[in-house]
Homo-oligomer: A and B are copies of this chain.
């Protein structure tokens, strides 16, 4: 089967993440290295359906290794959820002579890819690209390390103000249903408390912790709250609740928002993207399909897409303990 592959298509899908461009570049250059062609498909599955596809040579991707976002753009496609839409997409791939597909994205994108593969037997390979790190089969998703740095740098700035005014800040960070960003950036930023969906702290224990913090002589505090946290109150309600119950605190809220998704990727994300891109293309060339490439135990490995989508990326219990000890 591998002999047949002479042209690979690549697309980015779902929320954009730093490192996606570095991965695109790696896919393009690995194709060139193996003397096969590479086609860029714009706006994810939407562009596949609309035939928004064009060739990319190795010089086309120069100077993008350090750029945030995705030059192929991303979009969510309703039409791809229909059999008709997918048929159009398949015909466009064939019309362009594309033999295999690299999908850079998250769970949703992989699920779309698997359906497509099932219907048309089209070879696909997934690269995990999302800042949320919520994908099974890789210790790090593309963009996650960069997002962590963006978050700690923002909280470092907020800490300047918190310290100057002896304030308590609730800082909401991204992560969808996973607490990876909150937990790691919280430890990195020296947060006094971290609220994540995987662990229900409860409002009572939050108050208790803040009281203990105050007693221990801390003059300012940062509480990092994951957007998916399940404490039962959003970050603005939390502020009101704490101010009611602990009037000694001057509380502020900061929702870091979309800046977490952008920015020049960290060196870690650029290298990871390069390694994943090489492996994705070479795995397709070896005749493999329906896998996700990922980093586990410092090695680039394959995980069946079905497992990647069904499995859960768990929070490390050791980190929860480290977080507790650090707020001593």
Query: Which residues of A does B touch, CB under 8 Å?
Result: 12, 15-16, 18, 20, 25-26, 29-30, 32-33, 58-59, 62-63, 65-70, 73-75, 139, 145, 148-161, 163-166, 169, 184-185, 187-190, 216-218, 252-264, 266-268, 270-271, 274-275, 278, 296-298, 300, 318-319, 321-322, 324-328
Residue of B nearest to A67 (CB): B160
The smallest beta-carbon distance between A313 and chain B, in angstroms, is 12
Are B152 and A328 interface neighbours, CB within 8 A?
A: no
With a CB–CB cut-off of 8 A, which chain B residues contact A165? 16, 73-75
In the assembly, how many copies of this chain are there?
4
With a CB–CB cut-off of 8 A, which chain B residues contact A30? 325, 328
A150 to B150, CA, bound (A): 12
With a CB–CB cut-off of 8 A, which chain B residues contact A264? 153, 156
**8 tightest A-B contacts by CB?**
A157-B262, A160-B262, A68-B160, A297-B297, A69-B160, A148-B267, A16-B164, A188-B267
A134 to B69, CA, bound (A): 33
Residue of B nearest to A75 (CB): B165
With a CB–CB cut-off of 8 A, which chain B residues contact A156? 66, 262-264
Are A66 and B189 interface neighbours, CB within 8 A?
A: yes
With a CB–CB cut-off of 8 A, which chain B residues contact A296? 298
With a CB–CB cut-off of 8 A, which chain B residues contact A268? 145, 148-149, 188, 268
Are B69 and A161 interface neighbours, CB within 8 A?
A: yes
Are B65 and A190 interface neighbours, CB within 8 A?
A: yes
With a CB–CB cut-off of 8 A, which chain B residues contact A216? 58-59
The smallest beta-carbon distance between A146 and chain B, in angstroms, is 9
A66, A69, A258 pick with most chain B CB within 10 angstroms: A258
Extra A-B contacts (16), CB below 8 Å, given A16-B161, A69-B163: A16-B160, A16-B164, A18-B160, A33-B325, A33-B328, A63-B163, A69-B161, A73-B163, A73-B165, A145-B266, A157-B258, A157-B261, A188-B267, A189-B270, A274-B326, A296-B298
A316 to B155, CA, bound (A): 33
A26 to B58, CA, bound (A): 31
